[in-house]
Structure 1
Amino acid sequence: MEMLGSGKLVQLLVVALLAALTLADSQCGRLEEKLMYTTAIKTEPSEMPWIGLLAEDKGGHYEKAGCSVVIVNELHVLTTASCMKPFKTRSGNTNAVVLLGMYDSNLTPGDELDCNSLGFCTPRPVPRIVNRITVHPNSDKDTGDYNLAVLRLSEPVKWNNWIQPICMQGGSEPESLINRNLHYAGFNSGDSRKGKGLAMTVSRRKCKSLIAGTESILPPEYQLCGFPAKRTKYFPGAPLMDVDVQRDVPHSFYLVALLVRTVDSGDATTQIYQDVRQARSWIMEKSATK
């Protein structure tokens, strides 16, 4: 009998592992504590598996729209309302697609695995057509507030190690988000790999001083400013996350805001986020719709 080469054997083992992981129960906001305390600016392939990319269906190929999405449940993802401008908003024919299970934006969807020179393999992105776009009813085009949209997928996604939901709420949340070092992650135009970082949330007074000298206006009531450790510009829709701690152990990430824009001023880069806490009941209501 012909012996399998090491590369083929690795691929077969990975396929078996993927099949097993597909059947595994999902945990929202899954985290590995060891990955939180590094200086890495790129995620591991299965790290933060609730982040995907928005794309436009061009009839045979997908053109990426420069926006991230966040998985809420098997049928719904969340992004910013401003990311919906290029798309049709009527149900059933939105020409929008989301690519999930993605850690490298250069990869195209397909059944085959993506393997590197060491034989480490990961699945390719999973596309899902968006058949309904629901923009928050209080979305304000003038001020930019309530910049949120729930997207319903044409068919549910299956949970595996690379596709899982974010937690929408923590067990014990602080009243204020100001002066907190929070996690963010997503995609950017400077690197195809999914990145991550930390941002210190700042007061509105500090935000005003950070964006002084630009044409940018102060964010509206339910938006907040973050001062990132790195100046990389992430796509809108990138989640800002806090950590739910249970019994003195980091348990899961939960969503507190979505990135809506980035402002450069001198030596400072400021991230402006849409706070989702006031909109959680609306998000859950629209995400419960089958």
Structure 2
Amino acid sequence: MEMFVKLVVLTFVIGLGTVQALPECGVLDERLLHNTYTTTYPNEYPWVGLLMNQGQGGRLTHTRCNVIIIHELHVLTTATCVRKFQKQQRNAAVLLGIRNESHTPENEYVCNEKGFCVPGPVLFQLADIKINPLADKDTGDNDLAILKLTESINYTPYIQPICLQGDTEPDSLTGRNLPFSGFDHSNYLRGKGKAFIVSRQHCNTLTSSKTPWPQNQFCGFPPKTTRFYEATALMGINVVKDVPENFYLVAILAKMYLSGGVTTMIYQDLRPWRDWIKENINSS
């Protein structure tokens, strides 16, 4: 049975063309861009993982926070998700290559009812937590943290990084419908959707903010009220010669509001902080 499972996995991997070099970042399959599914395929958005509490004996529990692979040694999440781990990094870990929250690193392979199998999730320990120096607990602005792993990620079709920057990015995101992906509170499977980005003025009226809106955050509206975990990835698409080529990271989810039946996704903009992210990656 074990040999059969391995053969199924190997056949699928070869079928995906992974005998060739994997893309550098932001792998994109245009066929998956336009479906109406609310959950992802195993190899769709493979940069999304989970931040976990790690207790005594290695017992894992959820933090309800996503992580995003941006480099072979680094993942990104919100500062809010990791503040409690700053002085006890050993109590946090990262699960990558995971599509179903019920799966654990003990699952060498995970299979569906049709016998389709993929490798189980991989656990990584943390070597360092770097919180954005201007992260503001009061306003929530600049809610970013870079997590360095103790060992390099071995990229597979199910564990890959997203690009940090687009080749030709628009000056404004307002009025754009951007894809997002992360785990959520509705079920165990990694979810996805599209958020319509609105102006700061409109966002202020919907969230009833009594203080100036955080400078580096903006609002998006998803088609459903599903509550996604923090650090859900909001993505842009590089288009080359009218063909979508790869995804790049625009922002991560900082929080969600639900008011009057309207769901608002509050995103932390990455664009002002890309140099800070790159400097921390390069210094490692």
Shorter-chain TM band: over 0.9
Looking at structure 2, the residues matched to 18 and 86 of structure 1 have their Cα atoms a distance apart, in angstroms, of 39
Aligned to 2:197: 201
Aligned to 2:66: 68
1:154 and 2:150 aligned = yes
* Counterpart secondary structure, 1:260: strand
Is 2:8–2:117's contact at 8 Å kept on the other side of the alignment?
no
Mapping for residues 208-219 of structure 1, pairs under 5 Å = 208-212=204-208, 219=213
User: Deviation of residue 177 (structure 1)?
Assistant: 1.3
Identity of aligned residues (%): 43
> Quick one: which amino acid aligns to residue 259 of structure 1?
L
User: Deviation of residue 22 (structure 1)?
Assistant: 8.3
Aligned to 2:25: 28
- Equivalent residue for 2:266, pick from 265, 269, 272: 272
Aligned to 1:112: 108
Unaligned runs of 5+ in 2: none
User: Greater CA deviation, 150-159 or 80-89?
Assistant: 80-89
Is 1:216–1:263's contact at 8 Å kept on the other side of the alignment?
no
TM-score between the two structures when normalised by the length of structure 2: 0.93
> Quick one: which amino acid aligns to residue 237 of structure 1?
A
Change (3 A) 1:22 1:165: farther
User: Deviation of residue 11 (structure 1)?
Assistant: 4.0
Is 1:183–1:197's contact at 8 Å kept on the other side of the alignment?
yes
Unaligned runs of 5+ in 1: none
1:49 and 2:49 aligned = no
Matched pairs, number? 281
Runs of 4+ in 1 over 3 A off after TM superposition: 7-11, 15-24, 215-219
Is 2:54–2:90's contact at 8 Å kept on the other side of the alignment?
no
Q: Deviations over 1:130-170 (max 9, x none)?
A: 11000111111121111100000000110100000001111
- Equivalent residue for 1:37, pick from 15, 34, 37: 34
Aligned to 1:261: 255
> Quick one: which amino acid aligns to residue 82 of structure 1?
T
Mapping for residues 10-25 of structure 1, pairs under 5 Å = 11-15=6-10, 18=13, 21=18, 24-25=21-22
Looking at structure 1, the residues matched to 3 and 90 of structure 2 have their Cα atoms a distance apart, in angstroms, of 41
Is 1:257–1:274's contact at 8 Å kept on the other side of the alignment?
yes
User: Greater CA deviation, 39-48 or 200-209?
Assistant: 200-209
* Counterpart secondary structure, 1:236: coil
Is 2:8–2:116's contact at 8 Å kept on the other side of the alignment?
no
Looking at structure 1, the residues matched to 213 and 62 of structure 2 have their Cα atoms a distance apart, in angstroms, of 27
User: Deviation of residue 230 (structure 1)?
Assistant: 1.2
> Quick one: which amino acid aligns to residue 44 of structure 2?
E
1:101 and 2:101 aligned = no
Is 1:219–1:272's contact at 8 Å kept on the other side of the alignment?
no
Change (3 A) 1:157 1:270: same
Change (3 A) 1:252 1:225: same
Looking at structure 1, the residues matched to 71 and 232 of structure 2 have their Cα atoms a distance apart, in angstroms, of 17
User: Deviation of residue 112 (structure 1)?
Assistant: 2.1
Is 1:88–1:95's contact at 8 Å kept on the other side of the alignment?
no
- Equivalent residue for 2:119, pick from 108, 112, 123: 123
User: Deviation of residue 219 (structure 1)?
Assistant: 3.5
Is 1:67–1:237's contact at 8 Å kept on the other side of the alignment?
yes
User: Deviation of residue 63 (structure 1)?
Assistant: 1.1
Looking at structure 1, the residues matched to 102 and 84 of structure 2 have their Cα atoms a distance apart, in angstroms, of 22
Aligned to 1:249: 243
